[in-house]
Amino acid sequence: MQLHNTLTGQKEAFSPLDPSRVTMYVCGPTVYSFAHIGNFRPPVVFDTLARVLRRRFGRVDYARNITDIDDKINAAAAREGVDIRVITDRYAAAYHEDLKALGVEPTTHEPRVTEHLPQIIAMIERLIASNHAYAAEGHVLFHTLSYGDYGRLSKRDEQSLMAGARIEVAPYKKHAGDFVLWKPSADDQPGWDSPWGRGRPGWHIECSAMSEAVLGNTIDIHGGGHDLIFPHHENEIAQSTCAHGGAVYARFWLHNGFVNVNHEKMSKSLGNVLLVHELLKTMPGEVIRLVLLTGHYRQPLDWTDDVAADARRKLDRLYGALRDLAGIEAAAGVSAPQAFIDALEDDLNTPMALAELFELVRAANKAESDADKARFKAQLLDAASLLGLLQQEPEAWFSQATSESDLSAERIEQLIAERNAARKSRNFADADRIRKELADAGVLIEDGADGTRWRRGG
RNA sequence: GGCGUCGUAACCGAGUGGCUCAGGUGGCAGUCUGCAAAACUGCAUACGCGGGUUCGAAUCCCGCCGACGCCUCCA
């Protein structure tokens, strides 16, 4: 298995440090609002990777955190006049709903910052004791000059790094690059008691502490969005490595590219932020998942209406093949083709894997013997399951309504019955009129040897 | 300015120093169908520009043009 490691900028052969399990940590969301399409690329990508790793190595201990302490959360809570818990519970629940709709399996661990304050404080104390951090004016700061490899992940050196810095340097910092581990809270802000007074953790320490708590000092894979390379992951490395006496923090760093919308970065000012919560009102979650897997995870992905429509048609083809195999029992003991596995094991090349999947679809559609069909069905289902696709019955896929104004299944069946009566009496004008009526309502019909079937079109 | 990524047919999107170089959508044609649809078969369109290396480059090197990301909120 090959994975691209940001640390080296190359694909490297991957195997877990502990042969009995793979450990993987992925930075999760800060739950202060609904998550957008870009927020879901890491969960979908690393969910897929977890499936591949599980098949290859057996056990995968996978942690994806929920950040429930953050100043944006505080701001949202203050705005509504509620406890931060109200905000974080609401949006964590929404996040989980969206994940489920996208076919993302639960992770082994889902640590929350509020549940790891003791571990965070303990890690900060260790950093202070080893002279990698210092307290100043109620803050605790990590001293980046104390860590020789600082900048290695993001390939920046500390000198030039700060030369072009565009931020004001807080007066209590020993060095401009030092970052906050702990900061004081005002009386009206959420805070927790600590040796440095009542306060709250800085942005980066949570992941270090929680990763240590649930997975151990050295993990195999750490993932997240490309934008997190600096400063977030750079800082995590510094903290964890120094807190662990120099032990390697994460062996492989994987970063997914951004999702743009109509060639532009999503931003509130452009008003083009696509919330999955909203998208799900107009399309099945599986469509969104497929879009996110259509490009290679390290490349930028451009979300447009076209790519979503494309994905829906692809799923129609995939499910169409399965529907034609409805009466066939999938062969036992048959798994995904090797070429498909090879694609995924080559740095999670999902576009190539999808190409293999479509080759399989063509083969299945052409198969004549029941034995061949049974074999292809088994291969198709197994391969798709690695991508987290085709997890529902084809009939369910084709009949799912995407808006409440859609015709009911009963009404559709009724119209089809009327049409077939017309066809039987060779009254094709009426038959075609009814077909047109259905088509206008987004329902496409197919006359086959064993009756007429229907599906909702995009 | 520093670091990094990318430019493949109408669109999406892999890949590779050389086999008439994926796959999907869309287009055209054929088979099938009352007609369609689905499915199958066939066809067409490509590697940003200019140099270089090489027997051979879209693939490696250099330059240019263009797009984009990060540089202490950010998936």
* pLDDT in the model for residue A165: 46
Percent above pLDDT 90 for chain A: 81
Cα–Cα dist A374/A332, whole Å: 9
Which of A56-65, A164-173, A321-330, A409-418 has the weakest average pLDDT? Answer: A164-173
* pLDDT in the model for residue A166: 46
Q: Residue A304: which nucleotide is closest by CA–C1'?
A: B12
> What element of type H or E holds A235?
helix A234-243
Q: Residue A26: which nucleotide is closest by CA–C1'?
A: B75
Cα–Cα dist A417/A452, whole Å: 9
Q: Which fold has domain A261-398?
A: Isoleucyl-tRNA Synthetase; Domain 1 (1.10.730)
**DSSP assignments along A326-363, one per residue:** TTSPPPTT----HHHHHHHHBT--HHHHHHHHHHHHHH
Dihedral angle sign, alpha carbons of residues A388, A29, A76, A116: positive
Residue at shortest CA–C1' distance from B41 = A366
Nucleotides on chain B that have an atom closer than 7 A to a protein CB are: 1-6, 11-15, 22-26, 33-41, 67-75
Residue A404: which pLDDT band, with cuts at 50, 70 and 90? low
Residues 6 or more apart whose CB falls under 8 angstroms from that of A133 comprise: A124, A127, A140, A141, A142, A143, A181
Residue A168 in this model has a pLDDT that exceeds 70: no
Q: ∠A294-A300-A304 over CA atoms, to 5°? A: 65
Q: Where are the domains of chain A?
A: 2-256, 261-398, 404-456
Q: Residue A169: which nucleotide is closest by CA–C1'?
A: B72
* Count of CA atoms in the C-beta half-sphere (13 A) of A325: 32
Q: Residue A71: which nucleotide is closest by CA–C1'?
A: B73
pLDDT 10s digits, A52-87: 999 999 999 999 999 999 999 999 999 999 999 999
Q: Residue A176: which nucleotide is closest by CA–C1'?
A: B72
- Beta strands of A99-213 (E only): which ranges? 133-136, 139-142, 179-184, 199-201
pLDDT 10s digits, A368-387: 999 999 999 999 999 999 99
Residue A259 CB in 7 A reach of strand B: yes
Q: Residue A349: which nucleotide is closest by CA–C1'?
A: B14
Residue A444 CB in 7 A reach of strand B: yes
Could you tell me the two tokens for A263? 């060639």
* pLDDT in the model for residue A272: 83
Residue A385 CB in 7 A reach of strand B: no
**DSSP assignments along A413-453, one per residue:** HHHHHHHHHHHHTT-HHHHHHHHHHHHHTTEEEEEETTEEE
Residue length of chain A: 458
Give me the mean pLDDT over the A237-247 stretch. Answer: 95
* Count of CA atoms in the C-beta half-sphere (13 A) of A27: 22
Q: Which of residues 96-135 of A touch strand B (CB under 7 A)?
A: none
ipTM of the complex: 0.92
Cα–Cα dist A38/A28, whole Å: 12
Residue A167 in this model has a pLDDT that exceeds 60: no
* pLDDT in the model for residue A163: 46
Residue at shortest CA–C1' distance from B70 = A227
Distance CA A239 to C1' B27 in A: 57
Decide if domain A2-256 falls under CATH 3.40.50.620. Answer: yes
Q: Which of residues 56-85 of A touch strand B (CB under 7 A)?
A: 72
Give me the mean pLDDT over the A415-420 stretch. Answer: 94
Residue A289 in this model has a pLDDT that exceeds 60: yes
Cα–Cα dist A189/A185, whole Å: 6
Q: Residue A352: which nucleotide is closest by CA–C1'?
A: B14
Distance CA A367 to C1' B29 in A: 24
Residue A20's alpha-carbon distances to A61, A166, A186, in angstroms, are 10, 46, 47
Give me the mean pLDDT over the A318-327 stretch. Answer: 94
Which of A45-59, A164-178, A305-319 has the weakest average pLDDT? Answer: A164-178
Q: Taking Cα atoms as reference points, which of A136, A171, A132, A165 lies closest to residue A150? A: A132
Phi/psi class of residue A382: alpha, beta or left (left: φ > 0; alpha: ψ in -120 to 50)?
A: alpha
Residue A229 CB in 7 A reach of strand B: yes
Cα–Cα dist A330/A322, whole Å: 10
Q: Which of residues 193-222 of A touch strand B (CB under 7 A)?
A: 203
Residue at shortest CA–C1' distance from B1 = A164
Which of A98-102, A122-126, A164-168 has the weakest average pLDDT? Answer: A164-168
Q: Taking Cα atoms as reference points, which of A133, A108, A149 lies closest to residue A205? A: A133
Distance CA A151 to C1' B68 in A: 23
* Count of CA atoms in the C-beta half-sphere (13 A) of A234: 25
Cα–Cα dist A276/A41, whole Å: 11
Omega before A111 cis (within 30°)?
no
Residue A159: which pLDDT band, with cuts at 50, 70 and 90? low
CA A316 from chain center: how many Å? Answer: 23
A11 three-class SS: strand
Percent above pLDDT 70 for chain A: 96
* pLDDT in the model for residue A158: 59
Cα–Cα dist A274/A263, whole Å: 13
Residue A164 in this model has a pLDDT that exceeds 50: no
Q: Residue A175: which nucleotide is closest by CA–C1'?
A: B72
User: Do A35 and A95 meet the contact criterion of CB atoms below 8 Å apart?
Assistant: yes
